[in-house]
Amino acid sequence: MCLAIPMKVAKIDGLRAVVVSGGIEKEIRLDLLEDVRVGEYVLIHTGYAIEKLDPEEALETIDLIKQVYQAGRSGLPEEHA
């Protein structure tokens, strides 16, 4: 029910916007956010952008997980390393 899909903003017209992901285009509403710009990523739920997505934070999360991976790598069996 609270499923939300990350999509990229392609076009903005007032409170309406067109977002894209994987070749799919969708018209959505921006009523719930301030200062959205073309090129930014937003989470779409029931036709509304509910929050912006921060790509830098996404990358940082993956980097943190990779640090755990690196730390644990030495003790892993060869096929998993």
Partner 1 sequence: MVEIDDNLLAQFHDPRLALPLVRRLQDTVIKEPLRLMHVCGTHEHALAKAGLRSLLPPHMRLVAGPGCPVCVCPAGDIDLALQACAVSKVILTTFGDMFRVPSGDTSLEVKKAEGNDIRVVYSPWDAVNLARQNPGSEVVFMAVGFETTAGPIAASLLDDPPPNFSIISSLRLVPPALRLLLDSGDGTLDGFILPGHVSTVLGRTGYLFLETEYQVPGVIAGFEPLDLLRGILGLVSQIAQGPPFRVENLYKRAVSEEGNRKARELMARIFQTTDSNWRGIGRIPRSGLLLREEYSRLDAVSKFGLKYNQEAVDVLPGCICHLVIMGEAESEDCPLFGKQCTPRRPFGPCMVSSEGTCRARYQYRTV
The pair of structure tokens assigned to 52 is 């912006």
Q: C-beta of 44: minimal distance to partner 1 in Å? A: 10
| 60 near partner 1, rule: CB under 8 A | yes
Binding to partner 1 by residue 53, rule CB under 8 A? Answer: yes
Give the 3-state secondary structure of residue 4.
coil
Asked if 12 touches partner 1 (CB under 8 A), the answer is no
Rule CB under 8 A: is residue 72 a binding residue for partner 1?
A: yes
Using CB atoms within 10 Å of the CB of residue 15, give its burial: 0 to 12 exposed, 13 to 18 middle, 19+ buried: middle
8 Å CB contact between 9 and 40: yes
Residues that bind partner 1 (CB under 8 A): 1-4, 6, 8, 22, 29, 31-34, 39, 41, 43, 45-48, 50-51, 53-62, 65-66, 68-69, 71-73, 75-76, 80
